Amino acid sequence: MKTIKVGLVGFGTIGTGVAKLLLLQKERIAKRTGCDVQLVKIVDLDTTRDRGIQLPEGMLTDDYREILNDPEISIVVQLIGGTGVERKIMLEMIEAGKNIVTANKALLATYGEEIFCAARRKGVSVAFEAAVGGGIPIIAAISESLAANEIESIHAILNGTCNFILSNMEENGSDYAPTLKEAQRLGFAEANPAMDVEGSDTAQKLAILSHIAFGVRLDWKDIPKDGIETVSGTDFRYAKLLGYSIKLLAIAKRIKGASGACDKLELSVCPTMVKHGSPIASVSGAFNAVSVVGDAVEHSFYYGKGAGEMPTASAVVADVIDTVVGRTRITFDTLNLWDPENDRSENIELARAEEVTGRYYLRVMVEDRVGVVAELADILSKAGISIGSCVQESVEENTVPLIIMTHETTEGAINGAINAINQLDCVKSEAVRMRIYG
Amino acid sequence: MKTIKVGLVGFGTIGTGVAKLLLLQKERIAKRTGCDVQLVKIVDLDTTRDRGIQLPEGMLTDDYREILNDPEISIVVQLIGGTGVERKIMLEMIEAGKNIVTANKALLATYGEEIFCAARRKGVSVAFEAAVGGGIPIIAAISESLAANEIESIHAILNGTCNFILSNMEENGSDYAPTLKEAQRLGFAEANPAMDVEGSDTAQKLAILSHIAFGVRLDWKDIPKDGIETVSGTDFRYAKLLGYSIKLLAIAKRIKGASGACDKLELSVCPTMVKHGSPIASVSGAFNAVSVVGDAVEHSFYYGKGAGEMPTASAVVADVIDTVVGRTRITFDTLNLWDPENDRSENIELARAEEVTGRYYLRVMVEDRVGVVAELADILSKAGISIGSCVQESVEENTVPLIIMTHETTEGAINGAINAINQLDCVKSEAVRMRIYG
C-alpha cells in the first residue's frame, strides 16, 4: 500500500478534528483511498495545550519549516486563519511542491489569484471545500455536480454566528444586543464579532462561490453588504406577521443581458426577509445552507453544519482523500480557477445598483406627528418606488416605527430614497432596509 | 482539443434533456472538460416522434449496434428503464469497452454486482448519479464529499409521485384515491402507479444508497416496505394536530453493535410522520430530499427535483463530464462498489425486526362499542408496547378510527401486535402503521 505523508499547519478547533480523523480513522481513510495516509507533523505556536488527543512524540512543533523542508510530505493541510503570515506560509509550501488543503476563506477571497497561479506554475493543487459552508459540500456541488448548468442564482446562509443570533431573536422575541451577549457566552460568537455580524465573513465566502459559479474575479470588499446589528425585535414582529423569517443572506443572481449583451451579476450580503415554507427559511441556529438555481437542475438546496470541529474536519479530510486519489488534481486542472489567462467572466459583469431589482422592507423610526407618512411617501414616489403596504405602529412614545414594504424597484432607487429619508427632520435614526426573498 | 464521442440509448424524457445539453451547450461542456464532447448517435425504438429538438441527419437510429460497433464511441449514456433487454444491452456495451453513464436504478439495484464486475474486468467505469434523487448530487455526496465519515443514518424522500400525492392530500385534506387520479391527470403519476405508490421504486433507490453508504449488498425486494395507498385523510388530520407531516421515507440506520460485535443496519420504506420544523418535513410536491447523518459531518441535507427532463439530465451530463475528465474512473476504482472481492459490509448486517426500535402511529378502524379500546390495549400491553397517547374519534358511524401513538418499541413487537389486532372481531380493516421521525 502506497504511503502518503500529510502535514497540518494550525492545531486549533478544526485542526484538532482533522488530526482525530487522520490519526484515529486510518483504516476508514485507507479503504477510501487505497493508500496509507499518514499525518506526520503538526505545526502550531501553542505546543502545550491539551486538545484531547494523544499525539506521537515529536509530531507537534512550532516550526512550520519542519513540514516545508520535509520532501516526503506531499499534502499540507493549512488551517490558520489570517492573510498575513498565512499567505507567506502557503506560498512557501506551494513553492516547495506541496499540495494544499485549506479552510482559509479570507486568504482565497483576497489572494486567490496569487495562490492559484503559484500552484499552477508549480504543478500542485489547492482544495478548499471547508472554506465555505463548513461540512456542506457546496464547492464540489457547484464545481462538479452542477457542471452541466449555467448557475442562475445562489442564496445562502454562510455565517453560523449571524444565523444563531437571528434565530434566537426570532424565537425569543429579544433584541440584538442581549442576544449577541448570550451567543458570546455560549461560544457561538467571538469576543470581537465584527467580521461575522458586519457581514465580512459572509462576503468573503460569497466572493469564492461567485468565482466558482460565475467566473467573476473581484475584491470581496467590493460586495455591498449590510450587517445584522440594525435588525431589531420590531423587525421580527413584522416579519412574523407577514409570514417571513429574517436571515443574513449572501445573494448572487444572474441578470440576463439582451441577446449579445453581457449578463450582469448582482452580489450582495444583507439581512433578508425569507418567506416561510421555503427550505432556507427553516434553517435555524448555527446551521448554514445554500440554495442554488441552475438552468438545468432548477432549484437545489444544501444544508449542514457551517462550522465546528468535526463537521468542518469532515470537509477538510474529504479534500485530503480527493487529493490522495487524484480527483482534486483533475478538478484543479479543468476549472482554471483564478486564472487570468482563462478568464471565465468574459460574458458577465457586476451589476450596478440601478440594474438590481427587488422588493424591500424599510423600517424608519419617525417622530409621532401628523404628516410624517406623507413626507416619506413623497420621497418614495419621487424615486419611482411604489409602496406595497405601510404600517405605523402605535407605541405610546415620541418615536415610532414606520414599516414600508415596497413593490419591485431597483437597488439604486431604494438607496437614493433612503438617503433622502435619513435627511428628514422627522426621522430619528437611520432607516433599516431588508431585501424580500420568496 | 481532444474529441470524445458519446452515444445515447433511450430518447425519452431524460434522453431528450441530455441531448439538449450535449448538443446545444457544447461550449459550456467544452469549458468544463477541455474536450470537444460530441453526441454522435441516439438509439430509440421510436425514431419519428417530435421531441422538440432538431437532430443532425442520421443521428437517430433504432439499432443500438450502431453505437455498440462504433469503436470511436467511448461513453454510452443508457437511459432505458427496465431490467430485461436493458441489462443485455448494458453488458454488451461494457464488453465492447464503453464507459457507462446510466439512470437505471432498477438495473443497478437488481444486477449491480454483475454490471460492476463486468465493468471492472473490462476496465471501464459506470456512473449513476441520476439513478437516485434526480438532480440531487447524493451519490457524489455520499461517495466523495462525506468520505471521511462513517454514515450513521439516511432518511430520504426518493419518489416524487408519492411526495406529490401526500403533499396534495395534506394541503387539500383529500383522500388517496382522488388525489392519485389528479396526479395521473397532471402527469405526476403513471397510468400504472404500482412501482411508485407501493414503494418499490423507493426501495430500489434505498438499496443503491445503502450499498454506497454501508457496503451492504442485498436484493432490494428484501427491504421491508409499506406503500402510501393506505394513508388516509384521517391520518393527515391527526398528523397535523400532533405537529407532523406524512412522507414516504426510505430509512437506513446504523445500530451500533457492542464492542467487537457487528453493527446492524435497519432498512425500511414506509409512510412516516415527520416532525414539523425539520428540513425534510418542508419538502413538498415532486421534490426529493436526502437527510444524511455522518459521525463527523453530523446532520446534512440535500434537496432538489427528483425527476423531470432537465434536472435529471443535469445529473446525467455531470456524470458524462466526470467520465470525460477522469473523475469517474478514480471514484469507480477507489469505491469498489458491488465487488465481492472487496466486501465492505463485513462489519454490518441487516437488523432483524426485533432489533429495530422506534415510535409508531397506529390507526385501527374499529367497531364503535364498549370494550374495544381495552381489547387493543391488552394486545399492546402483552407485546410490551407502551401507549403514548390514544384517541378514539367520534364520527357517528358504526366504524370509527382509533389512533394510537406508542412509546419506543421494536418493529418486531409492533408487527406482532398488529397481526393480533387484525384478528380481532371489532377491527374492520387492516391496521395502518407509520413510523414517527423527529
pLDDT in tens, B259-283: 888 899 999 999 999 999 889 999 9
How would residue A120 be classed by pLDDT, with cut points 50, 70 and 90?
very high
Architecture of domain A138-305: 2-Layer Sandwich (3.30)
**Do B127 and B251 form a contact (C-beta atoms < 8 A)?**
no
pLDDT in tens, A10-65: 999 999 999 999 999 999 999 999 999 999 999 999 999 999 999 999 999 999 99
Nearest to B149 among A147, A314, A325 (CB): A314
Q: Is the pLDDT of residue A261 over 90?
A: no
Can you give the pLDDT at residue B277?
A: 85
**Quick check: A314 and B294 CB within 8 A?**
yes
Q: Is the pLDDT of residue A268 over 80?
A: yes
Phi then psi for residue A132, to 5 deg, are -130, 125
Can you give the pLDDT at residue B278?
A: 87
How would residue A166 be classed by pLDDT, with cut points 50, 70 and 90?
very high
Average pLDDT over all residues of chain B: 95
Contacts of B29 in chain A (CB under 8 A): 148
The residues near A404 (Cβ < 8 Å, ≥ 6 apart) are A361, A362, A363, A364, A376, A380, A387, A389, A390
Question: How distant, in Å, are the alpha carbons of A348, B43, B63, B247 from that of B15?
Answer: 30, 10, 16, 29
- Interface probe, candidates A13, A101, A143, A144, chain B, greatest B C-beta count within 10 A: A144
Can you give the pLDDT at residue A409?
A: 97
Q: Name the residue among A214, A326, A155 with its Cα closest to residue B28.
A: A214
C-alpha cell at A370: 401628523
Interface membership of B91 toward A (CB under 8 Å): no
Can you give the pLDDT at residue B366?
A: 95
Give the closest-approach CA distance of A214 to chain B in angstroms. 12
Can you give the pLDDT at residue A124?
A: 98
Can you give the pLDDT at residue A277?
A: 85
Residue whose grid cell is 456524470: B319
**Quick check: A303 and B279 CB within 8 A?**
yes
Share of chain B above pLDDT 70, in %: 100
pLDDT in tens, B44-95: 999 999 999 999 999 999 999 999 999 999 999 999 999 999 999 999 999 9
DSSP A82-146: -SSHHHHHHHHHHHTT-EEEE--HHHHHHHHHHHHHHHHHHT--EE-GGGSSTTS-HHHIIIIIT
3-state helix, strand, coil in chain A (%, to 5): 40, 30, 30
How would residue B346 be classed by pLDDT, with cut points 50, 70 and 90?
confident
Can you give the pLDDT at residue A41?
A: 98
What integer is the mean pLDDT of B141-155?
Answer: 97
Question: How distant, in Å, are the alpha carbons of A318, B73, B136, B288 from that of B318?
Answer: 20, 18, 11, 18
pTM of the model: 0.96
Q: What is the 3-state secondary structure (H, E, C) of A362-391?
A: EEEEEECCCCHHHHHHHHHHHCCCCEEEEE
Residue whose grid cell is 391527526: B238
The residues near B133 (Cβ < 8 Å, ≥ 6 apart) are B139, B156, B158, B205, B288, B290, B302, B304, B306
What integer is the mean pLDDT of A217-224?
Answer: 94
Q: Is the pLDDT of residue B395 over 80?
A: no
Exposure on the CB side of residue A83, measured as CA atoms within 13 A: 11
How would residue A278 be classed by pLDDT, with cut points 50, 70 and 90?
confident
How would residue A300 be classed by pLDDT, with cut points 50, 70 and 90?
very high
> What interface predicted TM-score (ipTM) does this complex get?
0.95
Interface membership of A72 toward B (CB under 8 Å): no
Q: How many residues does chain A have?
A: 438
Which residues of chain A from 13 to 32 reach within 8 Å of chain B, CB to CB? 17, 21, 25, 28-29, 31-32
How would residue B258 be classed by pLDDT, with cut points 50, 70 and 90?
confident
Q: Is the pLDDT of residue B129 over 80?
A: yes
Give the closest-approach CA distance of A39 to chain B in angstroms. 15
Q: Would you name the residues of B annotated as active-site residues? A: 205
User: Could you report how far apart the first and last alpha carbons of chain B are, in Å?
Assistant: 53
What integer is the mean pLDDT of A239-257?
Answer: 95
Domain definitions of chain A by residue range = 2-134+311-342, 138-305, 354-437
Average pLDDT over all residues of chain A: 95
Distance CA B116, CA B131 (A): 15
Nearest to A140 among B135, B140, B279 (CB): B140
Residue A205 annotated as catalytic:
yes
Contacts of A316 in chain B (CB under 8 A): 148
Can you give the pLDDT at residue A393?
A: 78
Can you give the pLDDT at residue B172?
A: 94
Can you give the pLDDT at residue B201?
A: 97
Q: Is the pLDDT of residue A396 over 80?
A: no
The DSSP secondary-structure symbol of A337 reads T
What integer is the mean pLDDT of B316-330?
Answer: 98
Can you give the pLDDT at residue B323?
A: 98
Distance CA B58, CA B40 (A): 9
Q: Is the pLDDT of residue A223 over 90?
A: yes
Interface membership of B359 toward A (CB under 8 Å): no
Distance CA A121, CA A102 (A): 19
| Homologous superfamily (CATH) for B2-134+311-342 | NAD(P)-binding Rossmann-like Domain (3.40.50.720)
Can you give the pLDDT at residue A346?
A: 77
pLDDT in tens, A408-433: 999 999 999 999 999 999 999 999 99
What integer is the mean pLDDT of A375-404?
Answer: 91
Give the closest-approach CA distance of A223 to chain B in angstroms. 27
Can you give the pLDDT at residue A21?
A: 98
Nearest to A296 among B294, B311, B331 (CB): B311
Nearest to A334 among B278, B316, B325 (CB): B325
Which residues of chain B from 378 to 397 reach within 8 Å of chain A, CB to CB? none
* Beta carbon pairs, A and B, within 8 Å: 184
Can you give the pLDDT at residue B343?
A: 83
Catalytic residue among A41, A98, A105, A205: A205
Domain A354-437 matching CATH 3.30.70.260: the answer reads yes
pLDDT in tens, A172-212: 999 999 999 999 999 899 999 999 999 999 999 999 999 99
Can you give the pLDDT at residue A49?
A: 95
Share of chain A above pLDDT 90, in %: 91
C-alpha cell at A379: 420621497
**Quick check: A303 and B303 CB within 8 A?**
yes
Interface membership of B141 toward A (CB under 8 Å): yes
Q: Is the pLDDT of residue B19 over 80?
A: yes
A30 to chain B: closest CA residue: B334
Can you give the pLDDT at residue B396?
A: 73
Share of chain A above pLDDT 70, in %: 100
**Quick check: B148 and A314 CB within 8 A?**
yes
Identify any residues that bridge with B290 across adjacent strands, giving them in sequence order: B156, B302
Give the closest-approach CA distance of B197 to chain A in angstroms. 24
Phi then psi for residue B192, to 5 deg, are -105, 100
Higher-confidence residue of A26 and B345: namely A26
pLDDT in tens, B149-189: 999 999 999 999 999 999 999 999 999 999 999 999 998 99
B326 to chain A: closest CA residue: A330
Which residues of chain B from 244 to 283 reach within 8 Å of chain A, CB to CB? 277-279, 282-283
How would residue A219 be classed by pLDDT, with cut points 50, 70 and 90?
very high
What integer is the mean pLDDT of B341-366?
Answer: 91
